[in-house]
Structure 1
Amino acid sequence: MTAPRPLYLAGRPQATGATLEVFDTWSGERAAVVNAADADTVERAIAAAHDARDAMAALAPYARRDVLEHCVRRFLERREELAQLLCTEAGKPIRDARGEVDRLVDTFRIGAGEATRIGGEVIELQVSARARGYRGMTRRVPVGACSFITPFNFPLNLVAHKVAPAVAAGCPFVLKPSERTPLGALAIAGILAETDLPPGAFSVLPCNAAVAAPLVEDARIAMLSFTGGPVGWDLRARAGRKKVTLELGGNAACIVDADPGRPLEHVAHRLAFGAYYQSGQSCISVQRVILHRDVAAALVPLLVQRVRSLRAGNPHDEDTDIGPVIDTASADRIEGWVHEAIDAGARVLVEGRRERTLITPWLLADVPRECRLYREEVFGPVAMVETVDSFDAALDRANDSRYGLQAGVFTARLDHAMRAWERLDAGGVVVGDVPSMRVDAMPYGGVKDSGIGREGVRYAIEEMTDTRLLVIRDP
């Protein structure tokens, strides 16, 4: 039997004696065994990160850049290996897995550039006579030790969006990846361990939520960044005085105006991509498609045709579009919500089927707005179509959600695009495409129950640094 893969404690591989099993999401067979952290390991990791604050802050910007550039080179060398890890532990179709590795590279490359651009500003303080002779300037300084908690659905890139900015900013960190998908995070840790980061600069600890509680509660942690579900609000309540960034998902809407500004075949293609890539297991997956009545009759058949053409199956096959969802409990919940909506009067446009954890695409119409499928985040291969009589009604319907992460708008009218940007209560508005579009340099985060704070490398660096003011009085 192969020895369990080590976790990383204070920058070094470590065996603990406790283990977690990682399963192939498609076959259900055991794919790997990893060392798991216990309470003592978590304590030692926090202490090491706290002790590494000064050394990380003193690391020159060019040295932080060099660490990140080393990671980029190694990710590129191991691209196919990393993609296969994703395919196995997350059930991500291999083409999408390669795309996530490419985004991992992008995120670290962006971080390398930002590491040498963390500046400040000169402030004019002489706004009145009493401030004559005073000069002001600011700089950004790292907050200190950070804790990161990431989910299963993007095991590389969601880790990257915390780790790359932390290294660029000069913050030591402790990362808890999802228990279901720790392999990608451990691979990143192994590459970081090849660099000249100071001792104690990072730890990557697969473990359960109870063991990880000090990552939320310990006062030595200066910032918590969590990506996941509604439990994030409880974590914030337990976090004390530390800074907190939360990305908690959504049930994204995509509006198609009377004149969408794109051929309808293209719109249907993008809607199907946005709704069903990653088996719908994305925080910005298209869940609610809001169509202007003037375009619905022509667009819906094209969307139905496109959805029916998607191939579901073994994620290791090159032509697979949709792989399994993460586990049986998720499949049970998704299936239950769909049938609840149908029983409440929703119409089935494309009927899905289920085999173990594989769910083929569902497309429904006129789902009652009180149904969980409409109100909550389904996080599965399910989308809903509804029609409205005006663009303003579409905006109102998109805002009829307790979530607000991103929204998409297809329109040819500039005034409608600007009105959407003004009125949609979301962290981001994407015009001319689906809300599922994300570039790793852009600010990313939500409002309402979708969370607080922003990721996207430069914006995450702002979250991981504080403004420090210097005032100098002329002699």
Structure 2
Amino acid sequence: MDMLIDGGWTGASDGAVDPILNPATDEEIATVPRATAADVARAVAAAQQGRDAMARLPSHRRFEILESVARRIEAHQVELGRLLCRENGKRIGETTGEVGVAARIFRGYAEEAKRIFGKSVPLDAIPGRERSLAITLRQPLGVVAAIVPFNYPVELWSHKVAGGLAAGNAVITKTPEDCPLAVLEISRYLEEAGLPRGAHQVLTGGRDVGEALVRSDGVQLVAMTGSTAAGRRILEVAAPTLKKVHLELGGNDATIICDDADVADTADALIRGRFTSGNGQICCAVKRVLVHRSIHAPLLEAVVAGAKRLRLGDPMDPSTDVGPLINRRSAERVEAQVNQAVADGATVLAGGARRGSFFEPTVLIGVSPGTPAFAEETFGPVLPLIPYDDFETALTLANDSPFGLQAAIFTRDLRRVMRAYEVLDVGTVVVNHTTAVRVETLPFGGNKGSGNGREGIHDTLEQMTKVKTLLLHEIFGPAN
């Protein structure tokens, strides 16, 4: 498959390509161009014309384009889900569902394109300004660089590209290296829906492509989902140009299980939230489980039994519970983290073994606060259960992290819920449900090392627009 630059599907300027492998089989399923610095420069130059055309495009037309893409995604949901499954490795039910979510996201931004409102501000609160008025408009930023991760590429790209276009920007997408194919296919729908030339372009390739976009003077906003290390690097590279940077980064989400939680329901939620959702590769997956000591033993028994029942295998098989990680390197990284946890005193009660790109659902006990297995993000199906005695101690442990994306609490006690909501330094507190949840109409994002800003149908447009004010001096009163 080719990439999209200046209205045309093209290879790299030097002809270089990268293979795209099925992580379950290592089969090559396609090749894509490896974009060069010249390709990036060409795309950024074309985006300058695209941004002007998008700024002139009325909101009803932006609505029509995005709505038509949503309908086309829905019409091709099954084949897109199969394509995403083959390149990404998530279970076929998950990838098909992700495509459906993307259609909803496109439709949501289509509607919001008609609701980018300014406001009027009476100035009579200011002495001497009683007869004056100000009005504001929200205008496009210009060119948005959308840097997309591998774990939920279609869904997370949809927020960036549909949000950027709904706001009247031009968008340049940098696809994930391992799984760009479904994004490229839906980009065809966008291109055929009537966007102005250069309004949306897609570059494939490595980190150097992303860095070149971030460094460019012709880009006004970088919207990136990825690792915290990558986010820090983007901030460094973007600093000289003073462009806006919106980052949704890693997480080490804590789940607090109180003594009144239902053991069976909680165990099911933990298994879904850590093992069977995204094969454990989710920024907001269940990462650290803090369990009241009174129910630690029965909950541990239920989680271990559930983990051992899970079927590891071909993600295209509907009976599979857990597929491969995105590539062998990722599985080897998870293996090394588990081995380090054991060396630090942890015990493996289920799983713990790697087979190629597959890693068994793994349950750990004996993980101590402060060790890497507690403090660092493990991007794979590994679940540590840690007992606690006092609720306030659990809150302190939950906050003892450089990350602050989401947290969950399982309890029937509303006062505990509100206490957790008050003190946990995270973007979202989830009650009686796994942290591995994202609702496109809610603000999503974190604090500390988990990023800045919030992404969602009602929030992204604020990130992707700028405010312009008109001050009307002495506008009220009798005319001269």
Give TM-score, length-normalised by structure 1.
0.96
* Cα distance in 1 for residues equivalent to 2:101 and 2:237: 32
CA drift at 1:304? 1.7
Corresponding residue number in structure 1 for 2:428 = 428
**Per-residue CA distance 1:293-326 (angstroms, 9 max, x = gap):** 2222332212222222211111110111110111
1:393-408 to structure 2, matched below 5 A, reads 393-408=393-408
CA drift at 1:211? 3.6
Corresponding residue number in structure 2 for 1:248 = 249
Corresponding residue number in structure 1 for 2:187 = 189
* Cα distance in 2 for residues equivalent to 1:466 and 1:53: 14
CA drift at 1:89? 0.8
Give TM-score, length-normalised by structure 2.
0.95
Total equivalences in the alignment: 469
Q: AA paired with 1:437?
A: V
CA drift at 1:88? 0.8
Corresponding residue number in structure 1 for 2:323 = 323
* Cα distance in 2 for residues equivalent to 1:204 and 1:438: 25
Corresponding residue number in structure 2 for 1:232 = 231
1:409-428 to structure 2, matched below 5 A, reads 409-428=409-428
* Cα distance in 2 for residues equivalent to 1:153 and 1:254: 21
Corresponding residue number in structure 2 for 1:72 = 70
Q: Are 1:291 and 2:291 matched, yes or no? A: yes
CA drift at 1:124? 2.4
CA drift at 1:80? 1.1
CA drift at 1:212? 3.6
Q: Are 1:461 and 2:461 matched, yes or no? A: yes
Corresponding residue number in structure 1 for 2:216 = 218
1:330-345 to structure 2, matched below 5 A, reads 330-345=330-345
Q: AA paired with 1:8?
A: L
Corresponding residue number in structure 2 for 1:101 = 99
* Cα distance in 2 for residues equivalent to 1:149 and 1:378: 22
Corresponding residue number in structure 2 for 1:381 = 381
* Cα distance in 1 for residues equivalent to 2:332 and 2:421: 37
Corresponding residue number in structure 1 for 2:167 = 169
**Matched position secondary structure for 1:52:** helix
Extract unaligned runs of 5+ from structure 1.
none
Q: Are 1:57 and 2:55 matched, yes or no? A: yes
CA drift at 1:455? 0.9
Q: AA paired with 2:77?
A: R
CA drift at 1:110? 1.1
Q: Are 1:272 and 2:268 matched, yes or no? A: no
CA drift at 1:152? 1.0
* Cα distance in 2 for residues equivalent to 1:249 and 1:289: 17
Corresponding residue number in structure 2 for 1:309 = 309
User: Mean Cα displacement is larger for which, 290-299 or 403-412?
Assistant: 290-299
Q: Are 1:85 and 2:83 matched, yes or no? A: yes
Contact 1:7–1:36 under 8 Å retained in 2 = no
Which among 27, 30, 53 is matched to residue 28 of structure 2?
A: 30
Q: AA paired with 1:48?
A: A
Contact 1:227–1:248 under 8 Å retained in 2 = yes
CA drift at 1:106? 1.5
Corresponding residue number in structure 2 for 1:470 = 470
Contact 2:332–2:354 under 8 Å retained in 1 = no
Contact 1:257–1:411 under 8 Å retained in 2 = yes
Contact 2:421–2:429 under 8 Å retained in 1 = yes
**Per-residue CA distance 1:11-49 (angstroms, 9 max, x = gap):** 332233322210111110110012332222111110111
User: Mean Cα displacement is larger for which, 294-303 or 451-460?
Assistant: 294-303
**Per-residue CA distance 1:262-291 (angstroms, 9 max, x = gap):** x32111111110011211101011010111
Q: AA paired with 1:236?
A: L
**Per-residue CA distance 1:430-454 (angstroms, 9 max, x = gap):** 1121111111111111111111111
Contact 1:341–1:368 under 8 Å retained in 2 = no
CA drift at 1:196? 1.4
Corresponding residue number in structure 2 for 1:392 = 392
* Cα distance in 2 for residues equivalent to 1:53 and 1:72: 22
Contact 1:340–1:371 under 8 Å retained in 2 = no
* Cα distance in 2 for residues equivalent to 1:68 and 1:256: 42
Contact 1:148–1:162 under 8 Å retained in 2 = yes
Which among 4, 11, 25 is matched to residue 15 of structure 1?
A: 11
CA drift at 1:353? 2.4
CA drift at 1:97? 0.9
Percent of matched pairs sharing the same residue: 39
CA drift at 1:108? 0.8
Contact 2:347–2:364 under 8 Å retained in 1 = yes
* Cα distance in 2 for residues equivalent to 1:371 and 1:188: 43
Q: AA paired with 1:64?
A: R
Corresponding residue number in structure 1 for 2:361 = 361
* Cα distance in 2 for residues equivalent to 1:172 and 1:441: 23
* Cα distance in 2 for residues equivalent to 1:355 and 1:128: 69
1:146-165 to structure 2, matched below 5 A, reads 146-165=144-163
Contact 1:312–1:360 under 8 Å retained in 2 = yes
Contact 1:148–1:225 under 8 Å retained in 2 = yes
Contact 1:174–1:203 under 8 Å retained in 2 = yes
Contact 1:64–1:167 under 8 Å retained in 2 = yes
Corresponding residue number in structure 1 for 2:44 = 46
Extract unaligned runs of 5+ from structure 2.
none
* Cα distance in 1 for residues equivalent to 2:3 and 2:237: 26
* Cα distance in 2 for residues equivalent to 1:23 and 1:329: 13
CA drift at 1:354? 1.9
User: Mean Cα displacement is larger for which, 79-88 or 206-215?
Assistant: 206-215
CA drift at 1:349? 2.3
Q: AA paired with 1:10?
A: D
**Per-residue CA distance 1:105-157 (angstroms, 9 max, x = gap):** 12111111111111122222111331111112222111111111111111211
**Matched position secondary structure for 1:216:** helix
Corresponding residue number in structure 1 for 2:352 = 352
* Cα distance in 2 for residues equivalent to 1:322 and 1:407: 23
**Matched position secondary structure for 1:457:** coil
Q: AA paired with 1:170?
A: G
Q: AA paired with 2:269?
A: R
**Per-residue CA distance 1:353-377 (angstroms, 9 max, x = gap):** 2211111100001212333222111
**Matched position secondary structure for 1:245:** strand
* Cα distance in 1 for residues equivalent to 2:116 and 2:375: 40
CA drift at 1:470? 1.7
* Cα distance in 1 for residues equivalent to 2:403 and 2:414: 25
* Cα distance in 2 for residues equivalent to 1:211 and 1:438: 28
* Cα distance in 2 for residues equivalent to 1:451 and 1:173: 21
Q: AA paired with 1:471?
A: L
CA drift at 1:167? 1.2
* Cα distance in 1 for residues equivalent to 2:410 and 2:209: 46
